[in-house]
Structures are given as structure tokens and as C-alpha cells.
Amino acid sequence: MTRGNVRRRLALAWWRQLALTLGPLLVVCVFFGGGEEPVTPSVFAMPLFIAGVASMFVSLKPFGVYKRSLIATQKALDTPQEPGAWLRLAADRRMAFLAAGLPAWIGALAVFAYLEAVPLALLALSSVILLYLYRIPRQLA
């Protein structure tokens, strides 16, 4: 497999992960978010929002692992270790994707606690920004 094919597959995996990260939040908002709001606000809305914001810090360690794997892949270009380095990079990135999706997934749970639209949008945006960190840079072309 050529380097261009690997990059295309990794780019496609990124878009797939973006859909898997934001999909549950969108589905839950469409099917469960449009109902009548309760007269008294839920006591779980703010703790779930805080948990969603705090879950961004979970991605710090996977990002470090991904960054080291990215450097190792760049060093392995045009060597016999290049296929293994690409596989390691893809595996590390998959684990980091899970950590990056946590804010949006917690936001999907917070819909049931009647969390407002602005905090939900902030949680979704934070997941998108975290996922953007895991795009493959042009230097690996």
C-alpha cells in the first residue's frame, strides 16, 4: 500500500469518527430534545456539563502518545519500518479518538437532564476541536 493510500484511509477514518462522535448527540437532540421542559430545572444538567468539560482533560495523555507516534512515523518514512509505524500511528489515533469524543457523548447524556442548547453546542464544539488535533499533517505526505 502506498503512502497516499494510507493517508486517504486515515483521512476517511477521521471523517467516520467525526460522524460517530457527533451522531449520538444529534440523534438524541432530534428525538428527545424537543419535548416540554420541566418546570423545575434538573439538578443533573450542570454536573453533566462540568463532567463534559472536564472530560477534555482525559485526552491529554492520548494526545501525547499520538504525538510521539507521529514523530516516530515521520522518522520511519522511506525505511523498512514505515508500514509498522503507520499501523502504530493508526492504533494510537483510534484510542485518542475515544478520548476526544467524550465531551459530545456526555452532552448526549445531558440532553436527558434538559441541558440547554448553548452548553450542548459547546460540548460538541470541544469534541470537534479535539478531533481536529488528530488530523494527519501534510508533512507525512
- CA distances (Å), 69 to each of 3, 15, 20, 99, in order? 16, 20, 23, 17
pLDDT digits over 41-93, tens only? 678 889 999 999 999 999 999 999 999 999 999 999 889 998 999 999 999 99
Domain ranges of the chain: 3-35+43-136
Nearest of 136, 134, 116, 103 to residue 22 by alpha carbon: 103
pLDDT digits over 102-119, tens only? 999 999 999 988 888 899
What is the enclosing helix (H) or strand (E) of 60?
helix 60-75
Please, which residues have CB within 8 angstroms of residue 28's CB and are 6 or more apart in sequence?
108, 111, 112
